[in-house]
């Protein structure tokens, strides 16, 4: 029978698989950048002059993604322990939101020096950061309500 705990475990497993995939991807970044530079046909690929900024930008994105995945892992672990409306989870959501905004910088770097496709990724990351910021505000309010409820005699 599918239940709440199974769903959390599935999310946790997916998070860890993506984290492992991100680490594996890190080994192939130079090859991917070389491939795009070699097949440079215009706006969709990375210009040969953008090889270094492209590599640095993608590594920065991977690093931020790993930070986000770590915080997601901790968040899901807390949810599994039935510790949902706690200040620590608000801090994780705040961190993930800021990390999404931080992701915009390397994306902008790649967009300027390499592929303009990353402008779309930049906007998507900023939008995701904004959504998570609203979710963080909701959980923050819920923490206050829970605290008041816990201390009502």
**d(C-alpha 119, C-alpha 110), whole Å:** 8
Residue among 140, 69, 143, 58 nearest 99 (CA): 69
CB of 79 to another protein, least distance (A): 25
**153 touches another protein (CB under 8 A):** yes
Cβ proximity to another protein: between 48 and 87 the closer is 87
* Options 23-31, 37-45, 109-117, 143-151: segment touching another protein (CB under 8 A): 143-151
Cβ proximity to another protein: between 24 and 153 the closer is 153
- What angle do helix axes 118-150 and 87-113 make, rounded to 10 degrees? 170
* Options 50-58, 60-68, 88-96, 145-153: segment touching another protein (CB under 8 A): 145-153
**87 touches another protein (CB under 8 A):** no
Tokens of 15: 């998070």
CB atoms within 10 A of CB 137: 14
Cβ proximity to another protein: between 9 and 145 the closer is 145
Residues sharing a CB contact under 8 Å with residue 102, sequence separation 6 or more, in sequence order: 64
**2 touches another protein (CB under 8 A):** no
CB of 145 to another protein, least distance (A): 10
**147 touches another protein (CB under 8 A):** yes
Give CA angle at 121 (120, 127), nearest 5°: 90
Q: Which residues bind another protein (CB under 8 A)?
A: 147-148, 151-153
């Amino acid at each position: 029978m599918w239940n709440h705990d199974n769903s959390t475990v599935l999310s946790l497993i997916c998070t860890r698989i993506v984290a492992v995939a991100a680490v594996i991807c890190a080994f192939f970044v130079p090859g991917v950048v070389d491939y795009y530079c070699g097949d440079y046909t215009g706006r969709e690929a990375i210009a040969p002059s953008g090889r270094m900024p492209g590599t640095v930008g993608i590594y920065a994105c991977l690093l931020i993604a790993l930070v986000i995945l770590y915080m997601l892992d901790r968040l899901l672990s807390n949810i599994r322990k039935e510790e949902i409306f706690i200040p620590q989870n608000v801090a994780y959501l705040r961190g993930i939101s800021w990390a999404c905004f931080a992701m915009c910088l390397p994306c902008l770097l790649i967009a300027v020096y390499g592929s303009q496709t990353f402008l779309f990724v930049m906007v998507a990351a900023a939008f995701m950061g904004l959504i998570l910021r609203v979710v963080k505000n909701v959980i923050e309010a819920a923490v206050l309500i829970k605290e008041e409820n816990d201390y009502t005699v």
